[in-house]
Structure 1
Amino acid sequence: MVITKDAYCLDGLRFAIKKAKDQQTTVLFSYVQKIDNHDPIAFYHAGRENYKGQCFFWQDPKKEIILAGTGQVTPLSSTGSYDRYIHVEKNWDKLLRQAVSSGESGVIGTGPLLFGGFSFDPEEEKKTLWNDFEDETFAIPCYMLSLIEGQSYLTINRICSPDDNEWHLYKQVENEVEELTDQRKFSVSPSINPLIKQEEIHADAWKTTVASAITNMKHSSLDKVVLARELRLTFENDISPENVLLQLMKEQPDSYIFSLESGDSVFIGATPEKLIKKRKEQVFSDCLAGSIGRGEEEEDRRLGEELLQDRKNLLEHQYVVSMIKDAFDSLCSSVKIPDDGPVLMKNRHIQHLYTPISGVCEEETPVLEFVRRLHPTPAMGGMPKDMAVTKIREWETLERGMYAGPLGWMDAYGNSEFAVGIRSALLKGREASLFAGGGVLEDSTPEKEYKETAIKFNPMLSALGGTMNE
């Protein structure tokens, strides 16, 4: 048991209920307690027993912040035609203004925290693949385990109403926390789940679309468009998100590892790409565009040198650097970019051209204002931005949904981090839809882009595992 008649928790609940009565409204209550080290995957697994479809997981590349959340005290979902970034920001601010917090205070990634993501394109034609997700899918978890630089914290969030009873709420919380933190009951170990079917969705049609896009570029002002495709896997048994996360943590340790559930679907992946990281007034982003495969030592070195000198990939990379710099210039008082050009970022299956960008902004600048200006970068959409997104909407048969959209978290202390939802898959029962995109320029070839997307499927293919039945 983690909490036992904790005075701070009980007094905080009492104060939150009194505030709700006085103002005749609902009030967010948040309590944070430092606890003994706890396995975040076991916590995530335990949460799925009672809150399936309402859980999330996050691990940054340096493992400084690991989050496992379960349950939803209040979801922030679509309400119609509006600016979705403003909608999330306003609702988040409203909740924080009414919030009552107790326990440990000011620790990054603890307390009131909003986790979720945005779809790639809110104007995309909605089909059925992503019907469990809204154009923005965000929520505050009921319970969250945070590992912050190796120290574990438990956050308890509740919406308190005027008629609530603090003892009733406290006992409910105490019982649920005991269940969630019983690591003996919820151990997770890898298991084999045979793959029985693997299907490339409309692969030939995708190549034809790439060829048409190349022709279009020769006669228009479109400089680049990113075209994505789908690989669908069917397994013998339902796919375990916990096992996929374990494999991703093992195989892609230098990436953001994430999982976001909604309904019967799980959006999961290991993305190398930071969109925006904000620590009060300090902001950081990654320019990641241009990629090639990996090889044995000598071949790997040769491939890396080839990437660093490839005109097409360098041009793709420069598009991203220029766009992110412009966004930072519009919101920051100072911006820093290395003078010596891109370097290589090497992941297990892929190596990328990489340039970091940092800046200083007003501490009050909303992180979602950065997200609005950065999404989609030319690495996800193309150039010019609006024209490329329109062409994607027109040409792609794939329903992107959350794929390549911004995904991440915001706490109440001015800290936040969003990554780009690539190297990812949508899990539904026994099926997994994997997504990969290629940047198409005027001098691209359909076959080369096809091979590039095949390489980008590898991280999720490997993590899902299984062996094809004879």
Structure 2
Amino acid sequence: MSAFLRDTTATPFVSPGAATALLDAYRPATDRFLASPHHTLLGRGTAAGIPHDTRPLTWRVRNVLNARRRAGASAPVVVGSVPFAPDAPHSLVSPQSVQWGPPLREDPLIALPALLPEGGTVWQVREVPAPEQYGQAVADAVTRMRSGEFTKVVLARTLELTSPDEPDLPAMLSRLARRDPAGYTFAVPSGPGRTLIGASPELLVARTGGRLTGNPLGGSAARSTDLAEDVQRAAALLESPKDLHEHAVVVDAVREALAPFCTRLEVPERPTLVRTATMWHLSTTVTGELTDPGVTALELALALHPTPAVCGTPTDVARAVIAESEPFDRGPYTGMVGWQDADGDGEWVVTIRCAEAEGRSLRLFAGAGVVAASSPEAETAETGAKFRTFLEAMGASL
């Protein structure tokens, strides 16, 4: 395998294909794959699990990493996912071995096309809730917001897909990565017999030494295959009062959560655009300098989670509305997935544009931010557009 070890003191020689070698080497059940604009990570096996108990998660992670370092591991990390619900079990482990590579976008081999499944897999699809029921939940939330109960809620729906054969997860991961090599692609075990796989556009927070970076998103528009129309949609998103308000709610919450940790926090006044293969998003890059260099990436991520981009505001009210409106358990969806090392550096990504695989089934997730100016038709269409990220990686469509 062509790859290199992460080394903070030197720049290693990187051979062409190093990142795609890690991507191609991924195997479900035992491996954990994460790719970001900064590096590619493949963790193999499990050296230590992170216990699920009442002690703070940051303490449990730090304790395991320190124990591994004392046992002789030179650069231990914790990798995995944390769910949406605060009391639900996480899926975090310290792998037996970790290989690091360059970013996928810098690997010339990533430009090679990914093959679609042969033979046209037939999927049985069930929408939960049905589009009309989802639209009614949006309408009910809008009515409550206009009466002053809360400001925003993110409502999601799922596609439950079943096929005669188990899906080829390595091939699916490869197609996701090749469609958007500059994004955040992941595949990690999420429970016994289950795998969380996806390609998120949203960085929750990263910490490198005393510096943090976050990239909250909020406000979206579907891409168009027509170039002129696609440019118009992007321009309209930048001027949309509804989407700018939705984005501002998210950015304000991120600023409020991170400010207590920082001597300096820079938040641009206006958002820019981030694009994926299927969506445009309003984006703000937040940077800061930590007051206490001992604050870890996971501690910062937990202070942010869940942002209004995946839950709503006020958080407690939005959680209650979600529980009343969504006829399914989100599990890892709208949680976070990422890694942290023993020095506290790490990267945590918002778990969106994803699916959970189990046996012959896939459960896809998509949500939309609902504010007082929302319409049931527009939010239902937005979730449909977000499903496209994964459906196209499967060679399927609604």
State the TM-score, normalized to the length of structure 2.
0.87
Q: Offset at 1:90?
A: 4.4
* Paired letter, 2:41: L
Residue type at the aligned position of 1:356 = T
State how far apart, in whole Å, the 2-side matches of 1:385 and 1:369 are: 18
Match of 1:54 in 2: 30
3-state DSSP of counterpart to 2:26: helix
Q: 2:173 aligns with which of 236, 245, 268?
A: 245
Give the aligned partner of residue 389 of structure 1. Answer: 319
Residue of structure 2 equivalent to 1:42: 24
Would the aligned equivalents of 1:270 and 1:423 in 2 still touch at CA under 8 Å? yes
1: CA distance, partners of 2:362 / 2:50 = 26
Can you give the 5+ residue segments of structure 2 that lack an aligned partner in the other structure? Answer: 3-11, 105-113
Given residue 177 of structure 2, which amino acid in structure 1 is its aligned partner?
A: M
1:214 and 2:142 aligned: yes
Q: In the alignment, is the contact (CA less than 8 A) between 1:271 and 1:421 conserved in 2?
A: yes
Contact 1:58-1:67 within 8 A present in 2 as well = yes
CA distance in 2, matches of 1:83, 1:206: 37
Q: What residue in structure 1 maps to residue 51 of structure 2?
A: 77
Q: Does 1:337 align with 2:267?
A: yes
How far did 1:98 drift? 2.6
TM-score, normalisation: structure 1: 0.74
Query: What does the per-residue CA deviation read over 1:197-219, in whole Å, with 9 as the maximum and x for residues that have no partner?
Result: 22212223222222211122122
Q: Per-residue deviation at 1:365?
A: 0.9
1:279-290 map, 5 Å: 279-290=208-219
Unaligned runs of 5+ in 1: 3-32, 103-110, 124-133, 151-187
Over 3 Å counting, the alpha-carbon distance change for 1:332 and 1:141 in structure 2 is same
- In 1: Cα distance, 2:213 partner to 2:58 partner: 21
> Runs in 1 of length 4+ with deviation above 6 angstroms?
33-37
1:201 aligns with 2:128: yes
Give the distance between the partners of 1:270 and 1:142, measured in 2 at CA.
Answer: 25
Q: Amino acid of the residue matched to residue 354 of structure 1?
A: S
The match for 2:6 is none
* Gap change, CA 1:409 and 1:55, over 3 Å in 2: same
**How big is each residue's C-alpha offset from its partner over 1:288-318, in whole Å with a ceiling of 9 and x where there is no partner?**
1000011221101110111111111000100
Amino acid at match of 1:141: P
Name 1:445's counterpart in structure 2. 375
Task: Read off the aligned partner of 2:387 and give its amino acid letter.
Answer: F
5 Å-filtered alignment, 1:51-200, equals 53-60=29-36, 62=37, 64-79=38-53, 82=54, 84-96=56-68, 98-101=70-73, 111-123=75-87, 135-148=89-102, 191-192=117-118, 194-200=121-127
Matched, 1:374 2:304: yes
Displacement of 1:321 after TM fit? 1.0
RMSD over aligned CA atoms reads: 2.4
How has the CA–CA distance of structure 1 residues 251 and 149 changed in structure 2, closer, same or farther, with 3 Å as cutoff? closer
Q: Does 1:272 align with 2:201?
A: yes
Is 1:84–1:136's contact at 8 Å kept on the other side of the alignment? no
- 1:403-442 to 2 correspondences below 5 Å: 403-442=333-372
Q: Contact 1:190–1:246 at 8 Å: present in 2 too?
A: no
- CA distance in 2 between partners of 1:430 and 1:243 (Å): 15
Cα 1:97/1:249, change in 2 over 3 Å: closer
Q: 2:156 aligns with which of 211, 220, 228?
A: 228
Tell me, yes or no, if the aligned pair for 1:268 and 1:427 is still in contact at 8 Å: yes
- Comparing 270-279 and 137-146, the one that deviates more: 137-146
- Aligned amino acid, residue 377 of structure 1: T
* 1:133-158 CA distance string (max 9 Å, x none): x62111011232211469xxxxxxxx
- Separation of aligned partners in 1, 2:55 and 2:152: 26
- Counterpart CA distance in 2 for 1:239 and 1:42 is 16
- Residue identity matched to 2:180: Q
Alpha-carbon spacing, 1:121–1:464, altered in 2? closer, same or farther (3 Å): same
Deviations 1:349-389 (A, max 9, x none): 10011110000003211222211221111110001122211
**1:247/1:420 Cα in 2 relative to 1: closer, same or farther (>3 Å)?**
same
Asked whether the equivalents of residues 292 and 351 of structure 1 are also in contact (C-alpha less than 8 Å), the reply is: yes
Q: Give the corresponding residue for 2:243.
A: 313
User: Percent sequence identity over matched residues?
Assistant: 30
Distance 2:159 2:227 in 1: 29
Please give the secondary structure, in 2, of the residue aligned with 1:345: strand
Q: Which has the larger radius of gyration?
A: 1
